[in-house]
């Protein structure tokens, strides 16, 4: 995506191979990806290699918004339907593959399928007792389905909701521009986490993001990257993701591709 030049591809590969010995044994995949994509940007001169793909994903998801919004509102449990759609949107991940197929079909299948990890009732109960919610976003396009979930959450009561995006472009992760272009700013306050890692690495977050993280009554963490970076933290976190690799699927006790709504283990 950053360049078609095969010599540059080789330079990137060699450079990545050279930094592998520098990674600590306990480095998380998002920490590794952050270094790798910084090399890609530096060598190719392309700091937003997924720009066009992100715009396309946002527009595709927005074109589906009205139809799926109608399905959510008309379902027997709109909040659960919105959760399933938000998780379905997590398939828009260009770190995993170069394309994500027919988004409409994926979303329709997700609505009909059970959750692989189902902590939905605990999620609903926690919403009832919360006032400040921090929603850690993941990818462009996916953010449209996150918006639908935020809209359903707002029907429960008047929450203070913050939606967190990346400081700078990395892969196809959502930034401030994506949040505004998809209407998230109409339903939540948008803040940057201060980092360009494809996850929430607390040691890299801004003071504002950290203050909100530690003061939130409930944290919604979207995507496998946020699960990898936050699963050992102590806050009241609910992870919404699709399991995208065998290792994470095994840790969660699900199959690759399963939808997960999991409360952080006590």
pLDDT at 104: 84
* Burial of residue 226 (number of CB atoms within 10 Å: 0-12, 13-18, 19+): buried
Task: Dump pLDDT digits (tens) for 113-170.
Answer: 999 999 999 999 999 999 999 999 999 999 999 999 999 999 999 999 999 999 999 9
pLDDT at 130: 97
Task: Dump pLDDT digits (tens) for 203-256.
Answer: 999 999 999 999 999 999 999 999 999 999 999 999 999 999 999 999 999 999
Query: Distance (Å, rounded) from C-alpha 134 to C-alpha 49?
Result: 28
Query: Distance (Å, rounded) from C-alpha 110 to C-alpha 114?
Result: 8
Task: Dump pLDDT digits (tens) for 67-103.
Answer: 999 999 999 999 999 999 999 999 886 665 555 567 8
The two beta strands, 237-242 and 259-263, are antiparallel
> What average pLDDT does the structure give for the chain?
93
pTM of the model: 0.93
Which secondary structure element, helix H or strand E, spans residue 218, and what is its range? strand 218-222
Cα angle, residue 92 at apex, residues 163 and 254 outer, rounded to 5°:
95
CATH number assigned to the domain covering 51-263: 3.40.50.10880
Sketch the domain layout of the chain as residue ranges.
6-44, 51-263
Which stretches within the chain are classed as H helix? 6-19, 29-44, 51-74, 78-88, 103-112, 120-128, 142-154, 176-181, 207-215, 223-230, 246-252
pLDDT at 260: 97
Q: Is 173 helix (H, G, I), strand (E, B) or coil?
A: strand
Task: Dump pLDDT digits (tens) for 157-201.
Answer: 999 999 999 999 999 999 999 999 999 999 999 999 999 999 999
* Burial of residue 136 (number of CB atoms within 10 Å: 0-12, 13-18, 19+): buried
* Burial of residue 9 (number of CB atoms within 10 Å: 0-12, 13-18, 19+): middle
């Amino acid at each position: 995506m950053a360049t078609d030049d095969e010599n540059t591809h080789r330079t990137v590969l060699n450079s990545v191979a050279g930094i592998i010995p520098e990674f600590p044994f306990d480095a998380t995949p998002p920490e590794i990806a952050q270094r790798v994509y910084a090399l890609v940007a530096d060598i190719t001169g392309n700091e937003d290699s997924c720009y066009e793909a992100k715009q396309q994903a946002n527009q595709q998801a927005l074109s589906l918004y009205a139809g799926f919004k109608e399905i959510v509102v008309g379902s027997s449990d709109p909040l659960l339907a919105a959760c399933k759609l938000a998780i379905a949107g997590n398939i828009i991940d260009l770190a995993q593959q170069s394309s994500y197929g027919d988004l409409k079909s994926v979303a329709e299948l997700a609505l009909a399928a059970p959750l692989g990890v189902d902590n939905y009732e605990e999620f609903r109960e926690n919403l009832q007792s919360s006032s400040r919610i921090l929603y850690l976003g993941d990818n462009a396009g996916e953010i449209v389905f996150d918006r639908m979930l935020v809209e359903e959450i707002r029907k429960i009561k008047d929450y203070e909701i913050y939606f967190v995006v990346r400081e700078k472009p990395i892969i196809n992760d959502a930034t401030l521009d994506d949040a505004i272009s998809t209407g998230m700013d109409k339903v939540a306050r948008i803040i940057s986490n201060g980092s360009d890692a494809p996850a929430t690495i607390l040691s890299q977050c801004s003071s504002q993001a950290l203050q909100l993280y530690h003061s939130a009554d409930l944290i919604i963490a979207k995507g496998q990257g946020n699960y990898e970076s936050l699963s050992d933290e102590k806050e009241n976190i609910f992870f919404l993701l699709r399991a995208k690799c065998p290792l994470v699927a095994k840790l969660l006790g699900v199959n690759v591709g399963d939808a997960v709504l999991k409360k952080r283990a006590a």
